[in-house]
Amino acid sequence: MIFWIIMSGFFDFIHLGLGVLSVAGVMYVNYKLKTHRFFEDDMDDVSELRFFRAFYYVGWMVIQIIIAGFHVAGIIIRPKMPIHTTMITFRANLPSAHARMILGNSITLTPGTLTIDITGDRFTVHAIDDKSYEGITNDKMPREVLKLFEKEERQVIEDLQIITQTKKAG
């Protein structure tokens, strides 16, 4: 609210009063949403998240996005565009719905991949080529997500299936 006050330049009672009411309304709705469990394995609070590990994860994710961005740019600038699209499905053995949401969003944020569907622990992902989904199939990205919630090292990806492939160009 302080940021809005500074940026708007309105300091009269009406604007400040409506701002306070708006903030109170948003806080009330947010509190009600926070206490509602949308999934059986929702976390009650964020105490399960390892915050210091989250800082590492954000940096690691930025690097992955940059690397994948250069890879997709390389595909685009080649005259024959060696696209080899693939749909994959897999199960992710993660501790909560929040962890699965983070994995799905991380996959989508990485250029060249898109999370199509998450049903329970089953993911469907579209990839522009084999190299694009390599971080999923070698369990690197899912393990990084797991480390946000647990200290133990274990395999996350199970039941991996390639369900559609196009023929390689060239």
Q: Per-domain residue ranges for the chain? A: 2-35, 46-165
Residue 15 pLDDT greater than 80, yes or no: yes
Give the domain 46-165 fold.
Alpha-Beta Plaits (3.30.70)
Q: Which residues contact 138 (CB under 8 A, 6 or more apart)?
A: none
pTM for this entry: 0.72
Specify the higher pLDDT residue, 49 or 161. Answer: 161
Tokens linked to 78:
């080649």
Confidence of residue 83 (pLDDT cuts 50, 70, 90): confident
